[in-house]
Amino acid sequence: QKEVEQNSGPLSVPEGAIASLNCTYSDRVSQSFFWYRQYSGKSPELIMSIYSNGDKEDGRFTAQLNKASQYVSLLIRDSQPSDSATYLCAVNPQTGANNLFFGTGTRLTVIP
């Protein structure tokens, strides 16, 4: 059973719209959740982390966490063509190891 599930997409949104990316995880005791952005041919870079239920906002990005539903999402407001990338959801299962399990990623295209 996969640890972290994401819709592979691709997801296309027009410039200025809200992009919504979703992720579910299987380990109920997971405590730390992350969103990484990966441009084509590049390495992943962290854009958001969230640890508590609710919303966390950083500029145009909002991460949402619902531990009861084992669900984490990323909203990108006022989407820009530069947001076109693959977004990876990552979860720390907190089994005593400082490791991350990654989803397969959702490819986002923002259409000008």
The reply to whether 100 sits near other proteins by the rule CB under 8 A is yes
- Which residues are bridge partners to 33 per DSSP? 50, 91
Counting residues that bind other proteins (by CB under 8 A) gives: 23
The reply to whether 95 sits near other proteins by the rule CB under 8 A is no
Q: Identify the residue among 11, 22, 102, 107 touching other proteins (CB under 8 A).
A: 102
Binding mask 50-89 for other proteins (x = CB under 8 A): --------------------------------------x-
Write out the H or E segment, with its range, that includes residue 36: strand 32-38
Distance CA 62, CA 49 (A): 10
Residues 14-53 that bind other proteins (CB under 8 A): 32, 34, 36, 42-46, 49
CA 80 to chain centre: 17
Distance CA 11, CA 93 (A): 27
